[in-house]
Chain A
Amino acid sequence: MSVITIFSGIFCSADAVVRDVMDSTGYRLITDEQVILKAAETSGMPENKIRRAFSAKTSVFNTFTHEKECSIACLRLVLATELERGPAVVHGFCSLLIPQAVSHVLRVCIIAEMPYRIDQAGVVQGLTEKDASKQIHAQDADSAAWAEALFSVKDPWDNALYDMVLPMNRMDVAKAGALIEENLIKDAVRRTEASIQTEKDFLLAATVEMALSRAGHDVSVSAENGAVVLTINKQVLMLARLEEDLKSIAGAIPGVESVKTQVGKDFHQAHIYRKHSFEVPSRVLLVDDEREFVQTLSERLQLRDMGSAVAYDGESALALVKEDEPEVMIIDLKMPGIDGMEILKQVKSTRPEIEVIVLTGHGSEADRKRCMQLGAFAYMQKPVDIDELSDTLKKAHEKIQKFKT
């Protein structure tokens, strides 16, 4: 005995299909309204606030109140509790709340082409084409916002979210019902020991989410065999403290075997970021007597996570090379005292592993040839495009890494 979920657009004859399926399977029906009522009852939140979770419009205060997230947590908990009571048809927005891991759920989407829906709106409610299309668009916007909130998917009718998508403009109600019943007896949606465990985990995760949400936290929760994983989807400086608080709330809930916290992948922690920055050189020495130019350049490279030091003349550049072992140098050719060409010559003869990029405003073709002969990695003209320079720096870095390994 399984669970059937039906997510549908309005004016797609979904209610008729639901009745047909209930008649032939004997399953009970769980609707959004039932879940909302029960959620209001158990949480003490007003019904209309919970109902607003299904709306595309979010309260402007949501960032502080987390009303939407709290409502969703509530709905999830009620639904998970309901599912414990055995086979059911879940029809409506709530149907998308059951995690994919629960495999004994046959996920159905009922939708139709626009002309069919407008026609139905006329038949069922006597709506004009204009009114019908207005209602359909408003309802579809809510559906889209719901899919976006839950799965970050723009299209609520996306095939990937369902086991079957039924286009009602191409079949009648009886045919749709028959197709659902046909798929319901397939092995893939049969209740197994493993799938029952995932249902229990769903309830556990929902319970934890509710408890955290009541305490004002907004994290996503998953559970596997009692091991709970909390994903923090925001930037928080005092991460250790937040994790501690989350763990103490979640750990106190019966049935929770262990609690692990992690940071969502779009909300990088510094160390993840640093892994990424291995692709760029971290020690770049800029040598140029035009102070302002070289300082601006240094700051722009820092914005791209390349650490850089600056020298304004050849002597201090060569001193820094000895002390600081830069990976890559960017040098100007024309400078008082030891000029760029001389630096290039000395660096390449004493420290050939340092890559040197020549960046000059007044170079000739002969200069370019000479620099490349002396072993420069690249020869670039001012003004330089910062992206192009970044690219060249990355390439120099790759060459060095390759040489090292």
Chain B
Amino acid sequence: MQTDAVGRAWREGVSVVVATSAYGLSFGALSIASGLDLWQTMVLSLLMFSGGSQFAFIGVIAAGGGIAGVASAGMLGLRNALYGMSMRRVVQPRPMMMPLAAHVTIDESTAVALAQSEPRAQRVGFWVTGVGIFVGWNLATLAGALLGDLLGDPKQWGLDAAAAAAFVGLLWPRLKARQAIAVAAASAVLAAALLPVAPSGTPVILAAVVGVVVGLTNWFGPKHESDLPDPGGPEHREGQHA
């Protein structure tokens, strides 16, 4: 019974690793197209290691933003702290393993861990997915960056459109509740409206105010918190209301 659950954690982890690592290819190629060199691209995948933050950083840099790229990457990384809070309980890493666990705490490792039904399978799911993606993502980034060096003009290959599509893909799974859809629509419109007037890189940050304000006030929100999408797991949500 226990080996069944652990086997399932392995299989789910490996399939997520393969799918996620593959789009490290697009990150590597897009990073080169954004004007970073091979080593700069690799440092982002090795040290930052958080897909959304990495795509945001190179996107803002390509648009001519400087410190706004740092802010965008940092703000998109904030959710990893939330994942860390629930993964600390789930994974219970020894003190020496804590930094490694924290580094591989991303959307995918958290999701696979929380999808498992028993503690040992949760730990296996977390480590298999987190470490697997770290290795696969970095290899794919390297391959994509080498490929990107050969491609030449990124627009000719549609790589600018690929960058936009990558954000659609990161956003899509988060658009389940009405509140999230309203926030996404308002933020997109606001960012577009600010494009001609705000300095490079800042429209995204200014538009993010929408999410913070709606989050704090719970406008358009469900009456019960349990209706919210829940990346951190259901186990500690019972009985809590807005």
B and A form one assembly: no
